[in-house]
């Protein structure tokens, strides 16, 4: 362990001591304390005495207590030691995301195993399980990265000698009967057309009727508005205007992955007003009548962040729809809206309408919408005439 000590005067006449604690396998930790001293030399002497205590609070003294992976990973998550880069301090949002992956997916799978018993085959089976649950390759990579960081900590502690996550190969969830070279003839579906969205909404409301559960209404509204999941979960009743001819909802907050409301949002463009079509407004009115909490500050959908995952996969499978990710509901909304604008607008106003589309999607530029969210497949190209009739209705 290495401790760097600094002192500086405070506005109140006291001295502020800062310690930067560096240790093998541990993120740099900064501690701060205010002390009373007559001068800088005396303040530094007191600070160095206090720093000696940190020398005995080593990383190894904590982690050597654990043999089981679950106990070891939980201790690292609680302390925030989830980065394998010794010089990198994780941002709060990244650390919260890593902690959530550890506690919801990684520990339940590996928790009862000893650290020395985890093999490459175990990691591969874990990744295949994530693939079967419908997680994207990117999400699976993030899970494996967090697992790799934890095992790297175990190496630094001398508990294991190698990292089973190294040279990881990722599963391909495509139908094994489909020739990868034939993708030009049969595109991989990543968005739904308007008819498929309508089927999904009907199936969601049937599987999770509103008097009993808000899940069906959440899935339906996500498909009908193109909002991010956190935004839908962050909706509050005071932000929804359902009366009149033009109902709308203001996006003012977002639910984080650790189930706390974030009012800063992802970007400035995320703060926006979304017009609701007749079906979206109807669903919200019905849910308001059925909901137990309808106060101004109450969340419209009082669910936890990851409560959507299993219902979304079940509804998609039961409705016999092509498998997509939940976030692809957003791409479906953008793609179908683009088709409606392209089919019905004149050259004079199409640029303005496409700009409004990107604003409604919460993007600062139409380039973001076009490059990452508008995916016009062969099926969607043939659906242009239907797209202008009404989306998801």
pLDDT in tens, 313-339: 889 999 999 888 888 899 899 888 888
Stretch 205-230: mean pLDDT, rounded? 91
Stretch 326-355: mean pLDDT, rounded? 81
Q: Does domain 69-156 have CATH number 2.60.40?
A: no
Residue-wise pLDDT for 56-68, tens only, equals 444 445 555 677 8
Higher local confidence (pLDDT), 27 or 77: 77
Angstrom distance (rounded) from CA 264 to CA 270: 9
Angstrom distance (rounded) from CA 251 to CA 361: 11
**Sheet containing strand 15-23, strands side by side:** 2-9, 15-23, 26-35
Question: Which CATH fold topology does 194-387 show?
Answer: hpI Integrase; Chain A (1.10.443)
Q: What is the mean pLDDT of the chain?
A: 79
Angle at which helix 350-360 crosses helix 328-344, to 10 degrees, equals 160
Higher local confidence (pLDDT), 173 or 371: 371
Query: Residue 151: pLDDT above 70?
Result: yes
194-387 shares the fold of 69-156: no
Stretch 244-273: mean pLDDT, rounded? 82
| pTM for this model (two decimals) | 0.58
Angstrom distance (rounded) from CA 165 to CA 83: 15
For residue 234, the 8-state DSSP code is H
Percent of the chain with pLDDT over 70: 77
| Helix (DSSP H) and strand (DSSP E) numbers for the chain | 17, 8
Q: Please report, for the chain, the start and end positions of each structural domain, with discontinuous segments joined by +.
A: 2-57, 69-156, 194-387
Higher local confidence (pLDDT), 266 or 388: 266
* Closest among 142, 23, 39 to 86, alpha carbons compared: 23
């Amino acid at each position: 362990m290495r401790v760097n000590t600094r002192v500086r005067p405070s506005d109140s006449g006291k001295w502020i001591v800062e310690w930067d604690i560096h240790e093998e396998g541990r993120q740099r930790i900064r501690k701060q304390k205010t002390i009373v001293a007559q001068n800088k030399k005396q303040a530094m002497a007191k600070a160095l005495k206090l720093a000696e205590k940190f020398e005995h609070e080593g990383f190894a003294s904590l982690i050597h207590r654990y043999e089981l992976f679950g106990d070891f990973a939980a201790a690292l998550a609680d302390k925030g030691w989830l980065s394998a880069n010794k010089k990198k301090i994780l941002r709060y949002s990244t650390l919260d995301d890593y902690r959530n992956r550890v506690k919801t997916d990684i520990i339940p799978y590996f928790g009862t195993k000893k650290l020395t018993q985890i093999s490459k085959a175990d990691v591969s089976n874990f990744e295949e399980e994530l693939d079967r649950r419908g997680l994207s390759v990117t999400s699976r990579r993030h899970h494996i990265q967090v697992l790799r960081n934890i095992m790297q900590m175990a190496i630094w502690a001398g508990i294991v000698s190698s990292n089973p996550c190294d040279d990881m190969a990722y599963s391909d969830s495509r139908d094994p009967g489909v020739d990868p070279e034939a993708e030009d003839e049969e595109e991989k579906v990543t968005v739904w057309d308007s008819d498929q969205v309508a089927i999904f909404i009907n199936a969601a409301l049937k599987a999770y009727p509103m008097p009993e559960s808000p899940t069906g209404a959440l899935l339906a509204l996500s498909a009908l508005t193109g909002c991010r999941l956190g935004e839908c979960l962050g909706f509050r009743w005071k932000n929804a205007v359902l009366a009149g001819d033009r109902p709308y909802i203001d996006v003012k907050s977002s639910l984080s992955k650790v189930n706390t409301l974030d009012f800063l949002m992802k970007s400035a463009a995320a703060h926006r007003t979304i017009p609701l079509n007749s079906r979206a407004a109807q669903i919200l009115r019905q849910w308001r009548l059925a909901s137990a909490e309808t106060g101004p500050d109450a969340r419209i959908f009082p669910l936890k962040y990851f409560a959507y995952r299993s219902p979304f996969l079940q509804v998609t499978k039961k409705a016999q729809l092509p498998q997509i990710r939940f976030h692809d509901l957003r791409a479906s909304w953008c793609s179908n809206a683009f088709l409606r604008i392209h089919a019905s607008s004149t050259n004079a106003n199409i640029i303005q309408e496409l700009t409004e589309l990107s604003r409604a999607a919460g993007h600062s530029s139409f380039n973001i919408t076009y490059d990452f969210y508008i995916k016009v497949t062969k099926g969607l190209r043939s659906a242009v005439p239907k797209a202008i009739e009404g989306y998801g209705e």
